[in-house]
Structure 1
Amino acid sequence: MTTVRTCPACSDRAAAGDVFCEGCGRPLPEREGGAPAERPDNVPTAPQQSMSGATRGPVGGGDAGGGARPGLVPADGGPTAPQVSLNGATRDPAPGTAPAADAPPAGGGRPRGGGPAAAPGRHEADSFTTQPIRRDSLRPLSAAAPPVPAAAPAPAAAPPVPAPDWPPPAVGSSPVQPANPEMCAWCPGRVGDGYCEKCGFLQPTGRDHVEVRTDAAAGVSDRGLRHRRNEDAMAIRVVAADDPRAPGTVCAVVCDGVSSSPRSDEASRVTAETGATVLAEQIRRGADPREATAAAMTRAAEAVAGIAESLDSAPACTFVSAVVDPAAGTVTVGWVGDSRAYWLSGGPRSSASALLTRDDSWSEAMVQMGALSREEAMRSANAHALIAWMGADSGEIDAHISTVTPTGPGTVLLCSDGLWNYYPEAQSLTDAVPGAGARPHEAARTYISLALRAGGKDNITAVLIPVPTEQGGPRAEQD
């Protein structure tokens, strides 16, 4: 029987005869009991005298590093990867065989989250870096410095510039928004055109924490604890109470920027604002909520596609919207991607809490096809890979629209996966913040706090719309 060992540095599996770990390149320890591990014939059994104490570096070169290995994330495919093709989809490997950490989603879908870039010509970044990096500020590793002519006179020494105090003082409610906009918030560099000239990071903005409050709905968005920028966006529009066609109707949109695409924060902002504005315009003109949702999604998709510089550099985001008609007691939701809409029950006489959307993700597709159980799908490295999104490179998208007529009062919750990753079940969201509809602004703040307390590994957005209707009915039509 083959003995399997585990590398103490990175926990990768190693066979009995391995001398070095294939994952991190470090020497493996001797077997338990003091017996030396078996060594292949082409590896000396003792180091040469001049090499004593030397260790093998990581595969591919670079610093081995002694820090904790970052958690496995889907490999970062090209930002314009096509949607995942489900043709010929198969089950995962046999039980007990973990999927490869660097395996891309089946068919090449967009990875959900950051990670080292795998596309040719893209610079590698920290696994947790999910903000755009200015490419012209980073020199490719193979680029050599231009030669200096031998006869060129030495340049005159520039007068020393006193180093500014760093980190810069914060202003306002955001602890990372510097008082001096010319100074980088992340390193002692200077900022030009919104980017740091030293580290290349895009600078924080007032979107790091945003709160929106109206008489009929409220929302809070926060960048979380691990991301350097908030790539989520939200927008709320309320039709006036004296409107002749749709008095008091609430229109809301939440978008989550796809971190592997460029300018994902801009993509989510443009899409959310366009979607909510068109929704409200259509409703004021007397359009049916389903027709209004279809028009809003079409216009939002056109808007985000319009900001792409090329198909090779296409900003992208998810989309979820809600139209709450207080007169009819209906809730119409539309979505593309994995941002979600929930119905949170307002009491025992109301409709039970329920998820109103179905994710456009690899894991959900595997579950719907019966290829994997939900637990197996969510354990995969490709669990959050998107199979549909809004962007110039999305191809033909399958926009979903659903209308429900809940019984009794409750609350509609629109949120990004920064919240539902911690509270995926509708009932758990209801139990976490009882009576959310009575105090929507306070409830939205509480949801953000709960997600931050649970780890805050992603941007977090929650929009709550109370539905104080007594009308009711069964779940209605769905596209």
Structure 2
Amino acid sequence: MTKVRTCPACSDRVAVGDAFCEGCGRPLPEDVGAVPAGHPDSVPTAPQASMSGAAPPDGPVPDASRGGTRPDLVPGEGAPTAPQVSLNAVSDERPGLVPTEGAPTAPQVSLADPLAARSDPPAPPADPLAARSDPPAPPAGPGLCVWCPGRVGDGYCEKCGLLQPTGRDHVEVRTHAAVGVSDRGLRHKRNEDAMAIRVIDADAPHAPGVVCAVVCDGVSSSPRSDEASRVSAETGVAVLAERVRGGADPREATGAAMTRAAEAVAGIADSAGSAPACTFVSAVVDPATGTVTVGWVGDSRAYWLSGGPSSSASALLTKDDSWSEAMVQMGTLSREEAMRSANAHALIAWMGADSGEIDAHISTVTPTGPGAVVLCSDGLWNYYPGAQDLTDAVPEAGARPRDAARAYVSLALRAGGKDNITVVVVPVPPGGSRAGHD
């Protein structure tokens, strides 16, 4: 029998691993929010040691919390069945963008009852906690708190009570052509998002200077969702870069990357009934041709953000695989009505051994620069859902991508920080040539 966990203050239901109640914002007692011993998520989130360009922040950092088909996939003998995905090419017609081919399609809604699909709890009205400051220095010895002289037990300081940082609490990836920032947020004990960036060498025979980026968001209701996002992001970006560097078309490379990423996530499942899961969104930005190719499964998003009046209008480049988007596409509910539903963020497609048949979307557009391509998890777009919202919040994000990525994370934290937050900013300068950026 599964124990139902509820907040002792307001009786709102809480998820395993939550440090704070989503409803009232109060800290949860350890016996309520704690991950049970032996649970797959009782192991701390592993750092993404293989991320290219990862570097510790060298200035004030917006910080996290104070508490905490692919046709014919044939898995190895005994491995869980990989999801069967039809790689139908999809292009979105959007104002100011020039699609290469095809027409947009609505998310598949015939997979299963979306009301029973995975979903996030509603956002709290406000963040009742102030973000902590950066740790002053590493602890003097093992088992000591980074915030005070206290000792640490089960990840928390016994004196000040603060959760100790892990390798993925706050991560920054910086290259000359793209920047990513990922943060745990203010509500969760660990970061279940992941990101990865690769830039093809300028002297490569094929696709010089092309940027490949992936953002994945672990589905919190699945076990080891942090591992799922990490495996998916790193596998996806490695395949993207390998195929593009070898001369493959970006759409073909995106399809191959999503196939391999889905196989990798399915391969870490203990069983179909205990399957890690995550969303996936990728971008291949070619400075020579000006094209942007995106691929996605789930509700992590890609945006084009205009850099000025001479640029293409800001636009959302993806369509969520969610219950709310499906209701809107079918004309059953207006977007406002759908987003007010408790099922608004329920996923109808994800990467994982239990995903069933899904539609892996691929779209190519050719915006007019300057501007920026932004990949993000719902930890950001929950607060700034519209492309123009993001553009207005951080004008000319492509001009200073590192500052922009940090600013987006800070804005999400100040808005409530109820989820993990991950943002990758790929600047697109005018004229198709890529210059170095801060």
Q: Report the TM-score when normalising by structure 1.
A: 0.62
Pairs within 5 Å for 1:81-100? 86=109
CA contact (8 A) 1:114 1:260 kept: no
Letter in 2 for 1:249: V
Q: Residues 173-224 of structure 1, C-alpha deviation per residue, up to 9 Å, x if partnerless? A: xx69x997x73124759xxxxxxxxxxxx98621010000000000000000
CA shift for structure 1 position 397: 1.8
Q: Residues 42-64 of structure 1, C-alpha deviation per residue, up to 9 Å, x if partnerless? A: xxxxxxxxxxxxxxxxxx99999
The aligned residue for residue 449 of structure 1 is 410
SS in 2 for 1:206: coil
CA shift for structure 1 position 67: 4.1
CA shift for structure 1 position 87: 5.1
Q: Does 1:417 align with 2:378?
A: yes
RMSD over equivalenced CA pairs, Å:
3.4
CA shift for structure 1 position 108: 2.3
Which residue, out of 323, 340, 353, partners 1:362?
323
CA contact (8 A) 1:220 1:463 kept: yes
SS in 2 for 1:344: strand
Alignment length (residue pairs) = 324
CA contact (8 A) 2:174 2:402 kept: yes
Which residue, out of 108, 117, 120, partners 1:112?
120
Q: Does 1:275 align with 2:236?
A: yes
CA shift for structure 1 position 68: 7.0
The aligned residue for residue 208 of structure 1 is 169
The aligned residue for residue 224 of structure 1 is 185
Return the alpha-carbon distance in structure 1 between the equivalents of residues 226 and 404 of structure 2.
25
Q: Does 1:184 align with 2:145?
A: no
Pairs within 5 Å for 1:70-89? 86=109
CA contact (8 A) 1:204 1:228 kept: no
Which residue, out of 274, 292, 295, partners 1:313?
274
The aligned residue for residue 96 of structure 1 is none
CA shift for structure 1 position 434: 1.2
Q: Does 1:347 align with 2:317?
A: no
Return the alpha-carbon distance in structure 2 between the equivalents of residues 363 and 401 of structure 1.
21
Letter in 2 for 1:403: T
CA contact (8 A) 2:115 2:346 kept: no
Letter in 2 for 1:111: S
The aligned residue for residue 59 of structure 2 is none
Which residue, out of 378, 397, 402, partners 2:363?
402
The aligned residue for residue 6 of structure 1 is none
Q: Residues 442-469 of structure 1, C-alpha deviation per residue, up to 9 Å, x if partnerless? A: 1100100000000000000000000114
Letter in 1 for 2:427: P
SS in 2 for 1:253: strand
Q: Residues 269-298 of structure 1, C-alpha deviation per residue, up to 9 Å, x if partnerless? A: 000000001000000110000000000000
Q: Does 1:289 align with 2:259?
A: no
Return the alpha-carbon distance in structure 1 between the equivalents of residues 122 and 6 of structure 2.
21
> Which ranges of structure 2 fall in alignment gaps of 5 or more residues?
13-20, 25-39, 41-79, 85-106, 124-142, 434-438
Return the alpha-carbon distance in structure 2 between the equivalents of residues 309 and 366 of structure 1.
33
CA contact (8 A) 1:264 1:315 kept: yes
Q: Does 1:389 align with 2:350?
A: yes
Return the alpha-carbon distance in structure 1 between the equivalents of residues 5 and 192 of structure 2.
31
SS in 2 for 1:446: helix
The aligned residue for residue 159 of structure 1 is none
CA shift for structure 1 position 66: 4.5
Change (3 A) 1:245 1:448: same
Which residue, out of 461, 468, 473, partners 2:429?
468
CA shift for structure 1 position 86: 3.9
Q: Does 1:326 align with 2:287?
A: yes
Of the two structures, which has the highest relative contact order with CA contacts closer than 8 Å and spacing of 6 or more?
2
CA contact (8 A) 1:338 1:386 kept: yes
Q: Residues 295-320 of structure 1, C-alpha deviation per residue, up to 9 Å, x if partnerless? A: 00000000000000111110000000
Letter in 2 for 1:257: G
Letter in 1 for 2:336: E
Change (3 A) 1:313 1:203: farther
CA shift for structure 1 position 250: 0.2
> Which ranges of structure 1 fall in alignment gaps of 5 or more residues?
1-59, 74-78, 90-104, 116-167, 190-201, 473-479
Letter in 2 for 1:312: G
The aligned residue for residue 40 of structure 1 is none
Change (3 A) 1:184 1:248: same
CA contact (8 A) 1:361 1:387 kept: yes
Return the alpha-carbon distance in structure 1 between the equivalents of residues 389 and 250 of structure 2.
29
Change (3 A) 1:346 1:62: closer
CA contact (8 A) 1:85 1:107 kept: no
CA contact (8 A) 1:437 1:464 kept: yes
Which residue, out of 268, 275, 297, partners 1:336?
297
CA contact (8 A) 2:122 2:342 kept: no
The aligned residue for residue 247 of structure 1 is 208
Return the alpha-carbon distance in structure 2 between the equivalents of residues 438 and 271 of structure 1.
29
Change (3 A) 1:397 1:183: same
Letter in 2 for 1:290: R
Letter in 2 for 1:183: G
CA contact (8 A) 1:345 1:352 kept: yes
Change (3 A) 1:349 1:229: same
Change (3 A) 1:267 1:203: farther
CA contact (8 A) 2:266 2:275 kept: yes
